[in-house]
Chains A and B, each alone.
Chain A
Amino acid sequence: MVLTEDINRLFADLLRAQLTEAEWRWLEEKSTASPLELMTAFVAVPRFIGRQTVALSTEQAIELAETATGLSLENWTTVRLSRVFLLTSLSVSDEATYIRHIETLFDTAEMNELVALYSALPMLAFPGKWLFRATEAVRSNVGDVFDALVMHNPYPAKHFHEAAWNQLVLKTIFNDKPIHKIVGLAERNNADLARMLSDFAHERWAAGRAVAPEVWRLTPGFMNDRLLDDMKHLFASKNSDDQKAAALACFHSNYGPALALLDNHENLKNQVGHGQLTWADLEFNDLNTYESK
């Protein structure tokens, strides 16, 4: 887990460099204020700090990567970073008080505050205590809130149990969002998820709809007869990206019948074998799989 003090210091450096002097003075003062004043400041940040995109120098990006694996500040605003900075400044001396304060902020949050709160989960103290809150973000229908927990956030991979993890991945697919932005996707992969994905694809196909080709990267380690049928379906698709997904999934499996199936598609097999085709080629961000074919 990320060390709260280290990240707090790093964020302070980033903000001091980017904010105006008056903005930074306000924020620094609030970061050492009483908890209630700090919490009010968390809410009021947009009234005192201008919203701009956070800019990182190369050195800062390297330091961030070393301090907090998996965390990305891409597309973060100064408002969001200032809020997370305040959260990492909150006193952790008393666990019950700390948890009550954070819960209050969650309970009364508007959308941008929820985004900041969920972004901050990997950096908060007592990480195990936020598990329920984290699963609530997976249940959210507000896009930015969902993304704040699911995309570029190391918290779920570290703390979710398997059933919750599988719901997170499936809901990402269901919401037409790209799974390659989930941190720890490969490490947390499991057979049950591959089965659920197959079931999900069958429902979609029955409705005349598509599944994003990238999602089949979840299957190679668990290839079996049932998934093999899905591979045949994909190879028969008119969408060349479906065929590419099947080739990649078969190639990376150790399942004989899947490798035999791939032999029927020599061109694709060669592309994968020579590294000309990888999963990265199927990492699309704008999916629209709900459009009827």
Chain B
Amino acid sequence: MNQNNNSDERNPSHFEEGGGLAAQEMPEHSDLNWEEYREAIRGMRFFDPHIHMTSRTTDDYQAMFDAGIVALIEPAFWLGQPRTGLSSFKDYYSSLVNWERFRSSQFGIKHYCTIGLNSREANNEPLAEQVMEILPLFLYKEGVVGVGEIGFDDQTAAEEKYYRAQLELAKQAKLPVQVHTPHRDKKNGTERSMAIALEHGLDPAWVIIDHNNEETVESVLDQGFYAGFTIYPFTKMGNERMVKVVERYGPERIMVNSAADWGISDPLALPKTAALMKMRGIPDDVIKKVTYQNAIEAFGQSGQIDESVFANGLAIDQSQKMNGNTILRGGQQPRIAKDSLLIK
């Protein structure tokens, strides 16, 4: 989830923490054209453990499929403005396990999700109470691979209350937790998130601390948590920086995601980062771990991920085929000839 998408500054989340030491000397992010990097990632498969597809177009789905993304996790988050009633939450959670899952399947990408009350809307306590009551209805559903994304935003008392309550839900449901870390006072917020998870008795190997940077990663890994890195232009990590992180810390318990949403973000962040790693000489098995395997291992602890379903490409079930005003046509992904004036 992005919070600074209106910012004109480059990469403020990094500089805000005063940690931009090396950033001046090296490029943070390289924008790659498909033609430049397609060869570098030929044959690779990617699993994006954090992307908000409800905000993305069919063009994105097609480009993701073409670039080798075979499966993804869509965490429940806020929609850019606060919801005003319980039904909006219910319909949103329902769409994650229903329509969006179907839509994704029609583009050959396996769709999983995590379900949770996001930190911003935890501040509306009367509504948050109602949301907590319906969460169990969704947490036990097939393909729900965790509680998420939850954690801190402003680090208020209400945010802490519902973060703790949802950690308990995760324990009961035997689900991993996907933790959003704040942009402001990030280091402190990240440490607090981890301390509270440990206090509630969660195994750190079941908790994915997301949106890390050079300043937070060491403590997250040292304490046994998974560390997610979001390649998000301007506000989070650039892919050049990501390469340096992997060179320094290795691939264990590190996973890359795009967190692409309604802001200026890049659903191809994974394949681009993998290409850059390849160009920088990082071995294939390391690239595979941080862009595919580690996420499957972490969220697979839910028992809800069957890698064989998507490992060799998701089979499009012909019985699901629908024509007319819907997405799929003739068992194929519909392709529009973009440079053709004629629409058939």
Indicate if the CB atoms of A111 and B322 lie closer than 8 Å: no
Indicate if the CB atoms of B322 and A175 lie closer than 8 Å: yes
CB of B53, distance to nearest CB on chain A (Å): 15
Binds B, one of A85-93, A136-144, A227-235, A258-266: A136-144
Does any Cβ of A come within 8 Å of B141's Cβ?
yes
Across the two chains, which residue of chain B brings its CB closest to A146?
B322
Question: Which residues in chain A, 256-293, are within 8 Å of chain B measured between CB atoms?
Answer: 286, 288-292
Indicate if the CB atoms of B318 and A43 lie closer than 8 Å: no
CB of A174, distance to nearest CB on chain B (Å): 5
Indicate if the CB atoms of A141 and B101 lie closer than 8 Å: no
Indicate if the CB atoms of A44 and B140 lie closer than 8 Å: yes
Does any Cβ of A come within 8 Å of B336's Cβ?
no
Indicate if the CB atoms of A110 and B98 lie closer than 8 Å: yes
CB of A157, distance to nearest CB on chain B (Å): 21
Indicate if the CB atoms of B323 and A110 lie closer than 8 Å: no
Indicate if the CB atoms of A142 and B102 lie closer than 8 Å: yes
Question: What are 22 A-B contacts defined by CB distance under 8 Å?
Answer: A40-B140, A43-B137, A46-B142, A47-B303, A108-B94, A109-B94, A110-B94, A110-B97, A110-B143, A113-B141, A114-B98, A141-B99, A142-B98, A142-B99, A143-B102, A143-B321, A143-B328, A147-B319, A175-B322, A175-B326, A176-B323, A286-B318
Q: Which 8 A-B pairs have the closest CB atoms?
A: A143-B320, A110-B97, A176-B323, A141-B326, A174-B324, A143-B322, A46-B142, A44-B140
Q: How far is the CA of A169 from the CA of B58 in the complex (A)?
A: 29
Indicate if the CB atoms of B330 and A175 lie closer than 8 Å: no
Does any Cβ of B come within 8 Å of A112's Cβ?
yes
> Which listed residue (B94, B317, B322, B344) contacts A141, Cβ 8 A?
B322
Across the two chains, which residue of chain A brings its CB closest to B328?
A143
Contact with A along B65-100 (1 / 0, CB 8 A): 000000000000000000000000010011001110
Does any Cβ of A come within 8 Å of B165's Cβ?
no
Does any Cβ of B come within 8 Å of A187's Cβ?
no
Across the two chains, which residue of chain A brings its CB closest to B134?
A108
Contact with B along A94-113 (1 / 0, CB 8 A): 00000000000001111111
A46-B142, A114-B98, A175-B323 are known contacts; what are 4 more A-B pairs with Cβ within 8 Å?
A: A108-B93, A174-B323, A176-B322, A176-B330
Interface size range of chain B in the complex: 20 to 34
Across the two chains, which residue of chain A brings its CB closest to B320?
A143
Question: Which residues in chain B, 301-332, are within 8 Å of chain A measured between CB atoms?
Answer: 303, 317-331
> Which listed residue (B303, B318, B323) contacts A290, Cβ 8 A?
B323
Q: How far is the CA of A112 from the CA of B304 in the complex (A)?
A: 14
Interface size range of chain A in the complex: 20 to 34
> Which listed residue (A43, A109, A176, A292) contacts B98, Cβ 8 A?
A109
> Which listed residue (A107, A143, A176, A288) contacts B90, Cβ 8 A?
A107
Indicate if the CB atoms of B98 and A111 lie closer than 8 Å: yes
Question: Which residues in chain A, 10-64, are within 8 Å of chain B measured between CB atoms?
Answer: 40, 43-44, 46-47
Which of A111, A112, A286, A291 has the largest number of chain B CB atoms within 10 A? A111
Contacts of A142 in B (CB 8 A): 98-99, 102, 320, 322
Indicate if the CB atoms of B319 and A43 lie closer than 8 Å: no
Contacts of B93 in A (CB 8 A): 108
CB of A102, distance to nearest CB on chain B (Å): 14
Question: Which residues in chain A, 123-150, are within 8 Å of chain B measured between CB atoms?
Answer: 141-144, 146-147
Q: How far is the CA of A175 from the CA of B320 in the complex (A)?
A: 11
Which of B93, B94, B323 has the largest number of chain A CB atoms within 10 A? B323
Across the two chains, which residue of chain B brings its CB closest to A108?
B137
Contact with B along A167-181 (1 / 0, CB 8 A): 000010011110000
Does any Cβ of A come within 8 Å of B138's Cβ?
yes
Contact with A along B136-168 (1 / 0, CB 8 A): 111011110000000000000000000000000
CB of A222, distance to nearest CB on chain B (Å): 24
Known: A47-B303, A290-B330. A112 touches B323 (CB 8 A): no
Known: A44-B140, A46-B142, A144-B319. A111 touches B324 (CB 8 A): no
